[in-house]
């Protein structure tokens, strides 16, 4: 157990307490994201002003998506909807349909709030506008609040985009390829998920996720091994001496689940097809293949290292010189082409993958400065 979940209906006072009025400037400066408010199937990274504990791990950056969720992973990949998310209402929303649809966020140092305001489902725009928000509190508490939900969540299903409500986290492990031991696969393994009863989502409803104690709160071997709340903590030397709720199975690998965890299913094997809703994603790290060979002589290794260092320095110096000459002769072109660059991520059509894109336009304006991203 990582979170306790409480639900509140229209008659509960807590529902109004959890809803943050984004028009009230006393809470902090609200920013409308110009990219997310004008596009579809896109995500953008936003820094946090405080350390937010998510499943016991502290984060200083999150990724807001137009599809009604926040991606919490540090390693972005082509399937943001699969796991590592905070999803008040993950669905195929298209803020670009209307000038009234916006994605707003606010950070006052105590909480980070994202609101999807008057957004509509792509291809089903006539079914109404959705307004909802999620709040990440400095204490680790997470709130989902709903103001306008024009149709039951069970009727939102779409083949183009997963529909989920809840929390999910995962870890990454490295395993050798069955076909070629010299190639290592990175597997993102979802170890926990909190799913919300979507029948309780109505106008003026809310959910509150309260974090429970985790092994990561212990900073010494003694307190870790003596932990009662939660029980079963292990002091892990392989991960820079941290207190974890699992123990490494192999000293040559990192972040493996304990023996009590289920092993990856066939869906996690390299030859298995990966769907857009697969929670055991394979990422093939082609750029950093590990090559194993016989041990080499230390003297020869040092000599070759010196030669490699000199060659690298010469190549770098030549490259910098050529770059300086190019910029000097094309400076005006650089200024014209790069003034409005926003580093955001755009989903490819009919997929949950993304690429970096240029600013698609400022059709709705906003309070965001370019240099915040």
Distance CA 258, CA 358 (A): 43
Residue-level pLDDT at 326: 58
Q: What average pLDDT does this structure show over 306-323? A: 74
Residue-level pLDDT at 356: 32
Residue-level pLDDT at 337: 36
Give the up-direction half-sphere exposure of residue 283: CA atoms within 13 A in the CB hemisphere.
20
Q: What average pLDDT does this structure show over 360-364? A: 38
Q: Taking the alpha carbons of 75, 64, 48, 143 in that order, is the dihedral positive or negative?
A: negative
Q: Taking the alpha carbons of 197, 200, 206, 208 in that order, is the dihedral positive or negative?
A: negative
Model pLDDT for residues 124-181, shown as the tens digit of each residue: 999 999 999 999 999 999 999 999 999 999 999 888 899 999 999 998 787 888 888 8
Residue-level pLDDT at 323: 67
Q: What average pLDDT does this structure show over 210-225? A: 81
Q: Which residue has the higher pLDDT, 311 or 153?
A: 153
Q: What average pLDDT does this structure show over 7-17? A: 97
> Is the model's pLDDT at 192 over the cut of 80?
yes
> Is the model's pLDDT at 223 over the cut of 90?
no
Confidence of residue 98 (pLDDT cuts 50, 70, 90): very high
Q: Which residue has the higher pLDDT, 103 or 259?
A: 103
* CA distance to 15, 130, 201, 263, 327, per residue, from 66 (Å): 24, 12, 20, 33, 36
Q: Which residues pair with 58 in a beta bridge?
A: 53
User: Nearest-CA neighbor of 40 among 82, 98, 106?
Assistant: 98
Could you give the percent of the chain with pLDDT greater than 70?
66
Highest average pLDDT, of 156-160, 341-345, 360-364, comes from: 156-160
User: What is the crossing angle of helices 331-338 and 298-329, to 10°?
Assistant: 90
Q: Which residue has the higher pLDDT, 355 or 136?
A: 136
pTM here is 0.67
Residue-level pLDDT at 119: 97
| CB contact at 8 A, 134 and 86 | yes
> Is the model's pLDDT at 93 over the cut of 90?
yes
> Is the model's pLDDT at 251 over the cut of 90?
no
| CB contact at 8 A, 140 and 51 | no
Model pLDDT for residues 54-91, shown as the tens digit of each residue: 999 999 999 999 999 999 998 777 778 889 999 999 99
Confidence of residue 322 (pLDDT cuts 50, 70, 90): confident
Provide the mean pLDDT of the chain: 74
Q: If you count DSSP H runs as helices and E runs as strands, how many of each does the chain have, helices first? A: 4, 18
Residue-level pLDDT at 329: 54
Written as six digits, the tokens of 250 are 């192999």
């Amino acid at each position: 157990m990582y979170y306790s979940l409480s639900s509140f209906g229209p008659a509960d006072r807590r529902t109004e307490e959890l809803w943050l009025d984004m028009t009230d400037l006393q809470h902090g400066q609200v920013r409308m994201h110009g990219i997310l408010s004008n596009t579809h199937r896109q995500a953008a990274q936003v820094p946090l002003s405080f350390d937010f504990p998510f499943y016991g791990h502290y984060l200083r950056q999150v990724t807001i998506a137009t599809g009604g969720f926040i991606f919490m992973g540090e390693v972005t990949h082509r399937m943001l909807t699969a796991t590592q998310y905070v999803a008040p209402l993950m669905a195929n929303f298209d803020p670009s349909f209307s000038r009234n649809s916006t994605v707003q966020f606010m950070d006052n140092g105590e909480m980070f709030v994202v609101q999807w305001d008057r957004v509509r489902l792509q291809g089903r725009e006539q079914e109404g506008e959705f307004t909802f928000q999620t709040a990440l509190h400095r204490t680790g508490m997470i709130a989902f609040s709903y103001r306008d939900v024009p149709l039951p969540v069970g009727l939102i299903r779409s083949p183009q985009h997963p529909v989920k409500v809840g929390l999910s986290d995962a870890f990454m492990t490295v395993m050798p390829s069955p076909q070629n031991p010299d190639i290592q696969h990175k597997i993102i393994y979802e170890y926990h998920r909190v799913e919300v009863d979507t029948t309780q989502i109505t106008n003026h409803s809310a959910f509150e996720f309260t974090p429970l104690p985790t092994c990561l709160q212990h900073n010494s071997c003694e307190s870790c091994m003596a932990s009662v709340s939660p029980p079963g903590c292990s002091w892990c030397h392989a991960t820079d001496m941290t207190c974890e709720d699992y123990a490494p199975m192999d000293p040559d690998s990192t972040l493996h689940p304990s023996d009590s965890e289920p092993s990856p299913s066939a869906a996690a094997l390299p030859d298995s097809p990966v769907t857009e809703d697969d929670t055991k994603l394979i990422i093939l790290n082609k750029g950093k293949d590990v090559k194993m060979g016989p041990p080499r002589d230390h003297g020869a290794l040092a000599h070759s290292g010196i030669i490699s260092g000199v060659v690298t320095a010469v190549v770098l110096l030549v490259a910098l010189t050529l770059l300086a000459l190019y910029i000097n002769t094309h400076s005006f072109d650089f200024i014209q082409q790069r003034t409005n660059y926003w580093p955001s991520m755009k989903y490819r059509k009919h997929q949950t993958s993304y690429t970096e894109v240029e600013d698609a336009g400022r059709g709705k304006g906003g309070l965001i400065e370019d240099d915040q991203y």
